[in-house]
Amino acid sequence: MDPFFLVGSLVCAVSAVLCIGAALVRQPPNDITILSVAAVELFLLAYTVAAGIRQLTGEPVLGEAWEFWGYLLTALLVPVGTFWWSILERTRWSNFVLAAAGLTVFVMLFRMEQIWDGVAGL
């Protein structure tokens, strides 16, 4: 299991739990929930750099490389989109949207891990 996957899973889980918790106590998006999604984006940026370095130094993507990079580029857009949603709609429901970012990125990380290791599709 890739250490980046484990760290990413933890960051996504913490973000999702914080955002769901804030929504359940009827709080609008606040610094904690927004920063937790920013942490997901920051992780993805680090993951992008690491994946590029891994590939440039000779560690190949065993699945389809275009699929891996497509997932990664899409995952990079998810936290940004949910951030803008939470800024434009300052209700407690936006915290559920922010939580969806962590959950969605986790699923995408899982799939990227499968693609990198050459595991057959879902």
Coil vs helix vs strand at 14: helix
52-104 per-position pLDDT tens digit = 999 999 888 898 999 999 999 999 999 999 999 999 988 889 999 999 999 99
Confidence of residue 119 (pLDDT cuts 50, 70, 90): confident
pLDDT computed for residue 39 by the predictor:
97
Residue 98, both tokens: 């922010």
Does the pLDDT value for residue 121 go beyond 80? Answer: no
Given the structure tokens 């803008």, which residue do they identify? 84
Other Cβ atoms within 10 Å of 111 Cβ, number: 18
pLDDT computed for residue 118 by the predictor:
81
Other Cβ atoms within 10 Å of 88 Cβ, number: 8
